[in-house]
Structure 1
Amino acid sequence: MRRLLSCLWCGREIVESEAGRRRRYCRQSCRQRAYEHRNSLKGTGIPADSVVLSAQEAAALADRWFAARCAAEDIAIAVDEGAGAVELAVLSAKLVSLARDAERLR
């Protein structure tokens, strides 16, 4: 049985295989960025499990969540207006896509 996991650095989906250790990162570059991040926090008093985002990353994250909220509002409006199943399915798929994108921290 295969489970989908999320990369601990970028949030992309990882397909877990049955053999070997559980993967924590989707790529070597994500593993390297996480290592650099952990080492940059040493001696600062910032907890190791903290997520530190630049102002640009925080703004991008807020933009992605705003887009997801707008898509949810579009679905609510479509329901109120009696939209058909096909239109609601398309709007729902868009919301799921935006929500997955919003899950990424970087």
Structure 2
Amino acid sequence: MTGRTRKPENCLWCGRPVADAPLGRRRRYCRRSCRQRAYEHRTLAREAGLPEDAVVLTADEASAVADRAFEVRCAAEDVATAVGEGAGPEELAPLCADLVRLARAAERLR
């Protein structure tokens, strides 16, 4: 390694953090099952004539992504309202922690 610290990566399939490999190239998936699901997805996309980087979600998955985005927006509005009303650090800290938690959950596509 060149002495540079590497930014923690997220699984390309599920979005969970990926443990850094001590040697060799960076891992792209957190588990073998995620790597397998990604392979199956690429294979099916290729057979269907979709671009390899296409993301295919079920209606339920798409709805869940929209729900998580809505939750993030609501939490951000809560923080903005609290700031506008002059809230102190003791009130803002849990609101910000909730916003960060929801934003991390929203990063997941599946």
Band of TM-score, shorter chain: over 0.9
Q: 5+ unaligned residues in a row in structure 1: which ranges? A: none
Q: Report what 1:12 is aligned to.
A: 16
Q: How many residues align?
A: 106
Q: Report what 2:46 is aligned to.
A: 42
What TM-score do the two structures reach when normalised by structure 2? Answer: 0.90
Identical positions, percent? 63
Moved more, 66-75 or 43-52: 43-52
Q: CA deviation at 1:80?
A: 1.1
Answer yes or no: is the 8 Å Cα contact 1:2–1:17 preserved in 2.
no
98, 102, 105: which is aligned to 1:98? 102
Answer yes or no: is the 8 Å Cα contact 1:2–1:18 preserved in 2.
no
Q: CA deviation at 1:2?
A: 4.5
Q: Detail structure 1 runs of 4+ shifted over 4 Å in the superposition.
A: none
Q: 5+ unaligned residues in a row in structure 2: which ranges? A: none
Q: Report what 1:89 is aligned to.
A: 93
Q: Determine if the alignment matches structure 1 residue 79 to structure 2 residue 70.
A: no
Residues in 2 aligned to 1:17 and 1:85: alpha-carbon distance in whole angstroms: 39
Across the aligned residues of Structure 1 and Structure 2, the Cα RMSD in angstroms comes to 1.2
